[in-house]
Structure 1
Amino acid sequence: MTASFTVGHSPLFADSSLHQQLRQHGVQLRAISQPDDLQAQPIEVLLLDGALTAQHPLDAWQAGGPTLVGFELADGVLPLPASASETEMLALLGFAAEQYRLRQKTSQLANALHNKDGDLQKLVDVGLALSAEKDLERLLSKILTEGCRLSNSDAASLFLVDKKNAEQPQLIFKLTQNNSLPTRFQEQRMPLTKASIAGYVALTSTELNIADAYAIPSEAPYRFNRSFDMQVGYRTMSLLAIPMLNHRHDVVGVLEFINCQNAAGEPIAFDEVMAASLRALASQAAVAIENRQLLDDISQLFDGFVQASVFAIEQRDPTSSGHSFRVADLCIALAHQLPMAPQPNVRRQAFNDEGLRELRYAALLHDFGKVGVREHVLTKSKKLPEPVVDNLRYRVALAKESLQNQTLKRMLHAYRHQGGLDEELRLQWETELALECDRLDRYLRDILKANEPSVLTEGDFRHLQDIQSEVVRSHDDSLIGLLSDSEFCALAIRRGSLTQEERAEIERHVVHTRDFLKLIPWTPALQRVPEIAAAHHEKLDGSGYPKGLAGDAIPCASRIMTICDIYDALTASDRPYKPAVPVEHALDILQAEVKSGLLDGELVKVFIDSRCYLNPGQSQLLPAPPPSPADAGAGYAHHVCDFEPSCKHPH
């Protein structure tokens, strides 16, 4: 009978007959004299006798770990009867050794369970960190960092699969980290094939655990690319490549972890426990990446939809094309200046990333309500529609023709009933006809001049009354006024080209904007877009529309938009019906609006001092040409956001 365990004993026990008997049965015997000897060599059973207990107390021997066996009864010591046979002695010592091994196994399992709990907590922490990250680049970097920390790897790489081109899918070498050898990295694209380790894993959804990357069997379809190692003097040993699978089990990318390290920092192979943890990380990473890409795709889709909507809306009024995009660029340019403003009150109103996005969408869509304005009102560039003007021209021509007929009839009557026409009288009648026709032509010119969207003085208004009182004959020979009441009222508009009813309809575009935008299921971060967009015609003193909001009741984003909206309306050079105001003149007008209590003075100061209007973004403001004398007074037109100054500071 042989035994395979180790027994420790005092030096005196080596001279006993029992010592010889145990050795004959294959028991490993080690003489010890103090508890520290238990740490130097593995001992499963300690044969405790009086010599050992005399030197050190019982608890010191118990702390060493082996199972204690003794001839004297004591707590924690297995009794060893003095009368036990040789077989019984071996069985008892074997039982004590088995007890030691069970304790060791229990301790290992407890440690493994504790480590598992730790790894599980790490994975939970990683999952929370990944789900909270919004930026894709930072998300990918965090995946590698957490993976290296979890596996104690020296380096890691991340590859993404791009299958947008189904015929030529690509593998994107997106990111790499190396803790012992930091290097510069540039994103690379390569064909998706099985020739590389990452490509093989991506195409086959197979995990590869390679103990030595330089010793891959020749029959393997993939090879390790040593170029990086050769360039920087690195040695890749162990490598674990894991596919990142989404919920449809499609591979979205590959994680590679390199050179797992032991406690001494030496590279070792990745064991199954470590691989299982990294597998879980890869699964979390795949979900996080796909969610982030999905959110980015949705954001790009929505952004494209918004821009397409703005483009389509502006096609209803091509003369203002680009206005909404320029206003959005100006708003973002001004908002970026708020954190650097000298005024503490302005700095406190600075926007975060979500606030900037909300402002941008509101600015892009601030004229969305134009779709609710009738097109003939929206595009009305004159006071009278062209058919009415044509009718007036016809009316004047008919009146002149009627005067000529009357003159000819008088001449014919003289020839028939008076035997002839005196030459002097004929010249008199022709002169009178010419004067009447000239007067009608002058009236028509005055009507056409009054039809332009300009500012009428009281004298102009009385002149229109004189024209209206002119009576002419119609096609049926009845007497009518040269101007009808409706035509007179339209021409008598003192500012612009719109009647009061039409101007009210134009102003309702902000109400339409709010109502239409409320139909969109905005995310919580963008839910104020309708409110911000609808308030861009509110004024600080409460004189604006549609609600007559005043002061801080107007959102800061709306106050920014009002400034940028007015500036672009003044400086826009793409509107054929009005000249662009020079930049310096436009800034003077903004300051005048501040003095009138209409605009936020602090925001206007930041706008002017920062000169953010010079290069606001993607939309380039064209240089504004100086107004020519012929353009004087032609600054009023139909666009919903055209600026009309208060009477206190006309321009």
Structure 2
Amino acid sequence: MTARFSLGHSPAFAEHPLYPQLDDGSLVLRCVVHPDDLRPDGVEVLLLDGSLLQAAPLGEWQALQTTLVSFEALSTALPLPVAGTLQELQTLLAFAAEQSHLRDKTRQLAQALHSKQGDLQRLVDVGLALSAEKDLERLLGKILTEGRRLSHCDAASLFLVDRRQAAQAQLIFKLTQNSSIATRFQEQRMPLTKSSIAGYVALTSTELNIADAYAIASEAPYRFNRSFDLQMGYRTLSLLAIPMLNHRHEVVGVLEFINCQGVSATSGEPEVIAFDDVMAASLRALASQAAVAIENRQLLDEISGLFDGFVQASVFAIEQRDPTSSGHSFRVADLCIALARQLPLAPLPQVSCHALNEEGLRELRYAALLHDFGKVGVREHVLTKAKKLPETVIDNLRYRVALAKESLQSQMLKRMLQAYRQQGALDEAQRLQLEAELARECHRLDGYLRQILLANEPTILSEGEFHHLQEIQSELVKSHDDSLTSLLSEGEFCALAVRRGSLTAEERSEIERHVVHTRDFLRLIPWTPALQRIPDIAGAHHEKLDGSGYPKGLVGEAIPYAARIMTICDIYDALTAADRPYKAAVPQEKALDILQAEVKTGLLDGDLVQVFIQSRCYLQPQLLALAPTGSFHRHVCDFEPSEHKHG
């Protein structure tokens, strides 16, 4: 026979004539009475006869996972005495033993495959978990936790490479975990050099598998830093340092796994063992997944920061056209977030059900910051129109009045000259009469000018206050070419007859179109799914619940809930911001009264206004900063009272 194997048999087989011939040292014979005799050490082949089947049922013998040979079948196949029987029996038993070996090997391979599949499944699960994590700090913690679970190690550390410094790249000791001792960890930065294990791995992209960190060869370019062990009373033994490579094969960080946990082959007690190749392969795969997840997270954070900077820079640039309203969009955004954060706390279920998650808050904030971006489409002379008539037109009116007065004086002097020519003299009474007439007419023209200047102020006027403008318009005066013209042109009269504010109907329409410009501009941006409602939210901040708003005249639920939040905050800031020519900045309590009045007239969401007032979210410190001061420039979101007058 070519190989020794063990053969189990019953006591009865020891009496068989073939037994002495088999007991020649070529195989190991073992007498068995019960299945327990083969636990835990078994045999390759078991001769199963009637006595063994009487001792235990067939199922228990089969559970031993050894090759069973029926002694009765064997006796039938090899009757005695037959020449060559022993050789055939040995061949048959050897074949049975080989089957047993193959079955054991197959079972071991199946177990290894199952274990490998389990490792692969765990890696897949880890990859999914890492890709789903949005917070970088939690992501790094998951990487270490999953790595320790895969490797059965006691501790792990994570280092990130920071190449943003122009002078020298840095190694950031970002996180550590240790099952044996509790540690208070603080992030550390150090120069990226080959002198440390993590630095060497990061700079060379080389994996280091060290059996004993205290036994590193003296000629190695790196050294193990023992300060942690000394301070904490810890003993680092086995250490596996793996570079985390991104898709460009650049090292973004280093994973260190410390003290792999195993069992002593001699004592069976737990002990620290070296990381084997199989374990290293699994951790290498984890490091690759971690590198992709970290880079993706950092890239998303950078994109988010870049976009946030773009939004703020856009708002800053646009508000430079309107210096006194600078800060309006930022204040409205802060107010919107302050109010939105009160939604889940609201006692009203119809409000709390609209609570926004972090993505919703971000969407609302961007919409609020950009809600007035469309004023780039409003002509500057309309946007900055402080009064009903521009100063150049007022100067022209002053010149027109002055010219009319000069014309009257010239007419008086002509009448005096004519009297001298006709009468040879001008009596004192006649002279005084002419001068009195001139003074009255000049005084009347000066009064007209004062009324024009007063009407030019964008106060709130009633219909009855326009008669004096009609009287002024009917006044005919001479122009520079001696032709007669109205003191007020039709366009000037229409501008001065504006009842509220300083804008004509056409100019007000142009101002209102800033919302359309905002919406159309924002629709050009390829928003992510989480932010795709920004154009509609920003474009609806002047809509009113009763349909009287603009630009679409949306009614009730058709107005996005976030836009209803913004409308309240926009009005409040417009009321409490810097002084306007036709209305001073109102006190907070008055502004809140106006909001409630707008609710009563069906313009604003009453539930939201109630939450806004009761939560006092408008009193947050960042919202109490003084509004900018300076000369007035009209803002597209200036609040003007509705047709329903507020008390």
In the superposition, the TM-score normalised over structure 2's length comes to 0.90
Q: How does 1:497-646 map to 2 (within 5 A)?
A: 497-573=502-578, 579-615=584-620, 619-623=622-626, 638-646=634-642
Residue number in structure 1 paired with 2:206: 206
When residues 31 and 571 of structure 1 are mapped into structure 2, their CA distance, relative to the original with a 3 A threshold, is same
For 2:450 and 2:163, locate their aligned partners in 1 and report how far apart those are by CA, in whole Å: 68
Residue number in structure 2 paired with 1:630: none
Q: How does 1:340-489 map to 2 (within 5 A)?
A: 340-414=345-419, 418-489=423-494
Paired residues in the alignment total: 640
**Consecutive unaligned residues in structure 1, runs of 5 or more:** 628-633
Amino acid at match of 1:122: R
Return 299-308 or 112-121, whichever deviates more.
299-308
- Per the TM alignment, residue 29 of structure 1 is displaced from its structure 2 partner at its CA by 5.3
Q: How does 1:25-104 map to 2 (within 5 A)?
A: 25=25, 27=27, 32-41=32-41, 43-46=43-46, 55-57=55-57, 59-68=59-68, 72-73=72-73, 94-104=94-104
* One of 316, 321, 332 as aligned partner of 2:321: 316
Amino acid at match of 1:609: Q
Deviations 1:181-239, CA, capped at 9 Å, x for gaps:
33222222221111222211111111111222222222222222222223333322222
- Per the TM alignment, residue 316 of structure 1 is displaced from its structure 2 partner at its CA by 2.1
When residues 600 and 257 of structure 1 are mapped into structure 2, their CA distance, relative to the original with a 3 A threshold, is same
- Per the TM alignment, residue 484 of structure 1 is displaced from its structure 2 partner at its CA by 1.5
SS of residue paired to 1:247: coil
Question: Are the equivalent residues in 2 in contact too, given 1:2–1:27 (CA < 8 A)?
Answer: no
Amino acid at match of 1:158: L
Amino acid at match of 1:259: N
Residue number in structure 2 paired with 1:290: 295
For 2:520 and 2:212, locate their aligned partners in 1 and report how far apart those are by CA, in whole Å: 66
Amino acid at match of 2:612: F
For 1:82 and 1:10, locate their aligned partners in 2 and report how far apart those are by CA, in whole Å: 22
Deviations 1:551-584, CA, capped at 9 Å, x for gaps:
1111110110100000000111276775321111
Return 184-193 or 52-61, whichever deviates more.
52-61
For 2:80 and 2:199, locate their aligned partners in 1 and report how far apart those are by CA, in whole Å: 69
Question: Are the equivalent residues in 2 in contact too, given 1:540–1:600 (CA < 8 A)?
Answer: yes
For 1:229 and 1:184, locate their aligned partners in 2 and report how far apart those are by CA, in whole Å: 14
Q: How does 1:264-343 map to 2 (within 5 A)?
A: 265-343=270-348
Return 333-342 or 61-70, whichever deviates more.
61-70
Question: Are the equivalent residues in 2 in contact too, given 1:404–1:433 (CA < 8 A)?
Answer: yes
- Per the TM alignment, residue 524 of structure 1 is displaced from its structure 2 partner at its CA by 1.5
Deviations 1:453-506, CA, capped at 9 Å, x for gaps:
112234431111222222222222233222122111111111111111111111
Deviations 1:315-368, CA, capped at 9 Å, x for gaps:
222221111111111111100000000101111111112211111111111112
For 1:532 and 1:346, locate their aligned partners in 2 and report how far apart those are by CA, in whole Å: 18
For 1:14 and 1:30, locate their aligned partners in 2 and report how far apart those are by CA, in whole Å: 10
SS of residue paired to 1:475: coil
For 1:47 and 1:191, locate their aligned partners in 2 and report how far apart those are by CA, in whole Å: 71
Question: Are the equivalent residues in 2 in contact too, given 1:260–1:267 (CA < 8 A)?
Answer: yes
For 1:50 and 1:388, locate their aligned partners in 2 and report how far apart those are by CA, in whole Å: 126
Amino acid at match of 1:579: A
When residues 471 and 196 of structure 1 are mapped into structure 2, their CA distance, relative to the original with a 3 A threshold, is same
- Per the TM alignment, residue 241 of structure 1 is displaced from its structure 2 partner at its CA by 1.4
Return 25-34 or 549-558, whichever deviates more.
25-34
For 2:258 and 2:136, locate their aligned partners in 1 and report how far apart those are by CA, in whole Å: 23
For 2:80 and 2:341, locate their aligned partners in 1 and report how far apart those are by CA, in whole Å: 89
Residue number in structure 1 paired with 2:109: 109
For 1:343 and 1:316, locate their aligned partners in 2 and report how far apart those are by CA, in whole Å: 41
Amino acid at match of 2:113: L
Question: Are the equivalent residues in 2 in contact too, given 1:378–1:506 (CA < 8 A)?
Answer: yes
Return 554-563 or 428-437, whichever deviates more.
428-437
Amino acid at match of 1:231: Q
SS of residue paired to 1:256: strand
Amino acid at match of 1:277: S
When residues 575 and 433 of structure 1 are mapped into structure 2, their CA distance, relative to the original with a 3 A threshold, is closer
Question: Are the equivalent residues in 2 in contact too, given 1:321–1:574 (CA < 8 A)?
Answer: no
Question: Are the equivalent residues in 1 in contact too, given 2:198–2:241 (CA < 8 A)?
Answer: yes
For 2:432 and 2:293, locate their aligned partners in 1 and report how far apart those are by CA, in whole Å: 98
For 2:399 and 2:81, locate their aligned partners in 1 and report how far apart those are by CA, in whole Å: 142
Residue number in structure 1 paired with 2:266: none
SS of residue paired to 1:158: strand
2:235 paired with 1:230? no
Return 57-66 or 394-403, whichever deviates more.
57-66
For 2:79 and 2:59, locate their aligned partners in 1 and report how far apart those are by CA, in whole Å: 19
When residues 577 and 255 of structure 1 are mapped into structure 2, their CA distance, relative to the original with a 3 A threshold, is farther
Question: Are the equivalent residues in 2 in contact too, given 1:381–1:577 (CA < 8 A)?
Answer: no
SS of residue paired to 2:619: coil
Residue number in structure 2 paired with 1:126: 126
2:501 paired with 1:496? yes
For 1:130 and 1:283, locate their aligned partners in 2 and report how far apart those are by CA, in whole Å: 11
- Per the TM alignment, residue 51 of structure 1 is displaced from its structure 2 partner at its CA by 6.6
Amino acid at match of 1:446: Q
For 1:370 and 1:443, locate their aligned partners in 2 and report how far apart those are by CA, in whole Å: 36
- Per the TM alignment, residue 537 of structure 1 is displaced from its structure 2 partner at its CA by 0.8
For 1:191 and 1:552, locate their aligned partners in 2 and report how far apart those are by CA, in whole Å: 58
2:168 paired with 1:168? yes
Question: Are the equivalent residues in 2 in contact too, given 1:513–1:534 (CA < 8 A)?
Answer: yes
Question: Are the equivalent residues in 1 in contact too, given 2:597–2:646 (CA < 8 A)?
Answer: no
Q: How does 1:150-169 map to 2 (within 5 A)?
A: 150-169=150-169
- Per the TM alignment, residue 393 of structure 1 is displaced from its structure 2 partner at its CA by 1.1
Deviations 1:102-157, CA, capped at 9 Å, x for gaps:
22221111100111111111111112222222222222222222222222222222
SS of residue paired to 1:350: coil
SS of residue paired to 1:73: helix
For 1:575 and 1:27, locate their aligned partners in 2 and report how far apart those are by CA, in whole Å: 109
2:629 paired with 1:650? no
Return 78-87 or 133-142, whichever deviates more.
78-87
- Per the TM alignment, residue 620 of structure 1 is displaced from its structure 2 partner at its CA by 3.7
Question: Are the equivalent residues in 2 in contact too, given 1:193–1:199 (CA < 8 A)?
Answer: yes
- Per the TM alignment, residue 81 of structure 1 is displaced from its structure 2 partner at its CA by 7.9
SS of residue paired to 1:266: strand
In the superposition, the TM-score normalised over structure 1's length comes to 0.90
When residues 71 and 13 of structure 1 are mapped into structure 2, their CA distance, relative to the original with a 3 A threshold, is closer
Question: Are the equivalent residues in 1 in contact too, given 2:459–2:582 (CA < 8 A)?
Answer: no
Question: Are the equivalent residues in 1 in contact too, given 2:384–2:633 (CA < 8 A)?
Answer: no
Residue number in structure 2 paired with 1:219: 219
When residues 459 and 47 of structure 1 are mapped into structure 2, their CA distance, relative to the original with a 3 A threshold, is closer
For 1:113 and 1:349, locate their aligned partners in 2 and report how far apart those are by CA, in whole Å: 51
For 2:51 and 2:91, locate their aligned partners in 1 and report how far apart those are by CA, in whole Å: 24
For 2:580 and 2:179, locate their aligned partners in 1 and report how far apart those are by CA, in whole Å: 59
Residue number in structure 2 paired with 1:242: 242
- Per the TM alignment, residue 613 of structure 1 is displaced from its structure 2 partner at its CA by 0.7
Question: Are the equivalent residues in 2 in contact too, given 1:6–1:27 (CA < 8 A)?
Answer: yes
- Per the TM alignment, residue 593 of structure 1 is displaced from its structure 2 partner at its CA by 0.8
For 1:146 and 1:481, locate their aligned partners in 2 and report how far apart those are by CA, in whole Å: 87
Question: Are the equivalent residues in 2 in contact too, given 1:131–1:288 (CA < 8 A)?
Answer: yes
Residue number in structure 2 paired with 1:148: 148
